[in-house]
Amino acid sequence: MAETHCPYCALQCGMNLTPGAAGVEVAGREFPTNRGGLCRKGWTAAAVLGTPDRVTEPLIADGRGGFAAASWDMALDLIAERLIKLRSSYGADANGVFGGGGLTNEKAYLLGKFARVALGTAMIDYNGRFCMSSAAAAANRGLGLDRGLPFPVTDLDQAGQLLLLGSNVADTMPPFVQHLDGIRAGGGLIVVDPRRSATADLTADGGGLHLQPVPGTDLALLLGMIRIAIAEDLVDHDYLVARTEGFEALARSVAAWHPARTQTVTGVPASLIRQAVRLLASRAGSYVITGRGVEQHADGTDTATAAINLALVLGLVGRPDSGYGTLTGQGNGQGGREHGQKADQLPGYRMITDPTARAAVAEVWGVPADRLPGPGLPAVRLLASIGEPGGIRSLLVHGSNPVVSAPRSLAVAERLRRLDFLVVSDFVLSETARLADVVLPVTQWAEEDGTLTNLEGRVIRRRAAVTPPAGVRSELWILTELARRLGETTGFSADPETVFDELRRASAGGRADYSGISYARLDQGEACYWPYPEGGRSTPRPFTDGFPTPSGRAKLITVEYRGPADRLHRRGELVLITGRLLEHYQSGAQTRRVPELAAARPEAMLEIHPATASALGIGDGEPVRLHNDRGECRVRAVYSKAIRRDTVFLPFHFPDRQRANLLTTEETDPVSGMPEFKVASVRVERVAADDHVEVGE
């Protein structure tokens, strides 16, 4: 039996895996985030290990639309030869790397090192840019530190009130809901969501509130809430004086957001907005938590900043019984952005433009600091550079499926086809892998050792339970072998503990300091929250004694509401919002291969209000076409009174003509690089069942 953690979301529920004749048995394990419980994805997680279409040997494109099996030496020699040739012809930045928030800390670290040392390229980013980047940018500039939940999730067990913005935890991380039982029972749950989601339904238990704003107006709602807190003198004046700076400017900036104006812009009744603010300010034990629903916008950083501002003016952050946080999405979304996958960062959450940081990391890596490249391009711009003068000409993809998950995905697929060379490391022929020149089969979660960092900033151990198929290799081994072929014969290792020990040294002194964490401590069961410096202590609540800003105070940063990048509410158009389902995860490459989950949700369904559907002549269950100037997709409609009449909802887990991201825009947040996934203007039309709609691949 192996004690490990679920391969899906950042809750990282504890589980035990026991191999047997009938396969791997999954059992819930006592762990603070899940207390032995698992969701449907967790209980069925082992099923994907034996998926019939698993890739178990390297594949090389045969030039006729298929693949031919190859030896590892043949595949790696070809990759190295092509990368060297492209670097020689076009420069180091012609080779790009695209990582993932599901990679272990060790793989994320070694991937960043591989890009900058073995390839010498600045062109690395990862799919976490699509997930946490706006919340991260907001926390860094307002609080001085980006750590999802800067408190253990069990703190919520004793909370009285929670403002939850843009997260449907009842579907996306069901075991989290048990921590809200006391809040729900006391009527303190406030959910902000354009849909009457499963989480919004929880507000009915004890008289909580559901605020249902016009999509894309969350920032306006938060500005109005801050204005109410100030106008009604609900702010914590002593806290503001002692622990923050910038209050006067903030107060001036929100003065125009009186309740009537906020109601007009957001569609949320002013009385509900007042009630929500008064509830949060009424007594101790209040929390403000954001999710992707308010962050995946062109103003996502400003929206997350406004949520931080609200928590600060109410005096919630850094106290033992209250706080602010954001829910990390991917399994290692936190650790994945701390150790070098982001275009502008080095291990330890150091900035790549900081000379001191560059020198510290270069010393650990044994290279001159001036050999390290500068910042590269964030994910959307990195993919958009393909085919452009000076853009990348090759791409190595690890732990990601951008053909489904990236915005304007039809254009992304077309660009990937234009690459000189595409290498995808995956366990199946994902939609992205099908376009590759070389596919490398890699180990899955239950076949590897390593560490991840969950949504609380707690570093945890992943332990192997089964032996991978004979032809499959760890990405640590792949990167080490490729580095050797590229001339880096030392400094890379396939052993995860060896890599982690180097990560510890490379992170020492950085914001995300892991130097005091070791496999031994983790294996002994110690709860290790970063920052954890060598000789220091674990930090489950980093803001208790102050903020890691130059002044030691949190910064109240003024922001302005601009509205979505897409023009919305034009005649004949609806607003598309996207999100996740209980049964599926991210691009669906894993969960769509689990028979039980696929049977429960075999296809994407468009949620549409019955009145809206009736006006368009669309019956319940009938096929529809959604389209705009970026693309079109075809799904079936399902009636739902849980959604606004001006809005439709589509999950983003499905491929081909059901891809929600065929319709999303590549407009990004100017601070974080986050794409605006959550709002897009679309037309919806009924189509005949036999009307085949081609969108291309």
pLDDT band at 694 (very low <50, low <70, confident <90, very high): very low
Half-sphere exposure of 299 (CA within 13 A, CB side): 21
CATH 3.40.228.10 placement within the chain: 133-326
| CA distances for 152 relative to 6, 31, 93, 430, 538, angstroms | 18, 12, 40, 35, 12
Give tens-digit pLDDT for 515-529.
999 999 999 999 999
pLDDT in tens, 459-473: 999 999 999 999 999
Per-residue pLDDT at 691 exceeds 80 = no
Q: What is the mean pLDDT of the chain?
A: 95
CB-based contacts of 407: which residues, under 8 Å, 6+ apart? 130, 380, 661, 664, 665, 666, 675, 676, 677
Q: Residues 660, 407: contact at Cβ < 8 Å?
A: no
570 C-beta neighbours (distance < 10 Å), count: 10
Residues 117-139, mean pLDDT to the nearest whole number: 95
Instruction: Report yes or no: 453 and 332 within 8 Å, Cβ to Cβ.
Output: yes
Q: At what angle do helices 259-266 and 270-281 cross, to 10 degrees?
A: 110
DSSP of 621-671? T-EEEEEETTEEEEEEEEE-TTB-TTEEEEES---GGG-GGGS----B-TT
| Residue 643: predicted pLDDT | 94
Range 574-686 classified under CATH 2.40.40.20 = yes
Q: What is the dihedral of CA 291, 296, 298, 301, to 10 degrees?
A: 30
Q: pLDDT by residue (tens digit) across 398-416?
A: 999 999 999 999 999 999 9
Which pLDDT value is given to residue 386?
Answer: 97
State yes or no: pLDDT of 317 exceeds 80.
yes
Check pLDDT > 80 for residue 149: yes
Yes or no: say if 256 and 642 are a contact pair by the CB < 8 Å rule. no
Q: Is the pLDDT of residue 481 over 90?
A: yes
Predicted local confidence at residue 288, as pLDDT: 98
Cβ-based neighbour number of residue 50 at 10 Å: 12
At 409, give phi and psi (nearest 5°): -70, -25
What is the per-residue pLDDT across 605-652, written as a single tens digit (0 to 9) for each? 999 999 999 999 999 999 999 999 999 999 999 999 999 999 999 999
Rounded Cα–Cα distance for residues 282 and 190 (Å): 14
Distance from the first to the final alpha carbon of the chain: 43
Mean pLDDT of 51-65: 95
Instruction: Tell me what pLDDT residue 697 has.
Output: 38
Q: How many CB atoms lie within 10 A of CB 536?
A: 11
DSSP 105-120: HHHHHHHHHIIIIII-
pLDDT the model gives residue 72:
98
User: In this model, does residue 565 exceed pLDDT 80?
Assistant: no
- CATH fold of the domain at 2-50: N-terminal domain of TfIIb (2.20.25)
Instruction: Give me the long-range contacts of 67-75 (CB less than 8 A, separation at least 24).
Output: 67/429, 67/439, 72/471, 72/473, 72/481, 75/438, 75/440
**pTM check: above 0.75:** yes
Q: Where do the CATH 2.20.25.90 domains begin and end in the chain?
A: 2-50
Residue 52 has pLDDT above 50, yes or no: yes
Report the distance separating Cα 552 and Cα 145, nearest Å: 12
Strands 323-326 and 286-290: parallel
3-state secondary structure of 190: strand
The answer to whether the CB of 190 falls within 8 A of the CB of 160 is: no
Q: Compute the distance between CA of residue 402 and CA of residue 141 in angstroms, rounded to an integer.
A: 29
Domain boundaries for CATH 3.40.50.740 within the chain: 62-131+332-443+471-497
Whether domain 62-131+332-443+471-497 has CATH 3.40.50.740: the reply is yes
Give the pLDDT score at 692.
52
Q: How far apart are CA 374 and CA 198, in angstroms?
A: 44
DSSP designation for 157? G
- Residues in contact with 66: Cβ distance below 8 Å, sequence separation at least 6, in sequence order: none
CATH number, domain 133-326, options 3.40.228.10, 3.40.109.10, 3.40.50.970, 3.20.190.10: 3.40.228.10
Tell me the CA distances in angstroms from 214 to 280, 289, 569, 604, 653, one per residue in order.
Answer: 22, 19, 10, 23, 24
**Phi-psi sector, 177: left (phi>0), alpha (psi -120 to 50), beta:** alpha
DSSP string, 21-83: TTEEEEEE---TTTTT---HHHHTGGGGGG-TTB--S-EEE-SSSSEEE--HHHHHHHHHHHH
pLDDT digits (tens, 9 = 90+) for 445-464: 999 999 999 999 999 999 99
pLDDT in tens, 649-671: 999 999 999 999 999 999 999 99
In this structure, the dihedral spanned by the alpha carbons of residues 26, 459, 492 and 446, taken in order and rounded to 10 degrees, is: 0
CB 379 within 8 A of CB 386: no
Q: What are 413's two structure tokens?
A: 């697929």
Q: Cβ–Cβ contacts within 10 Å for residue 545, how many?
A: 8
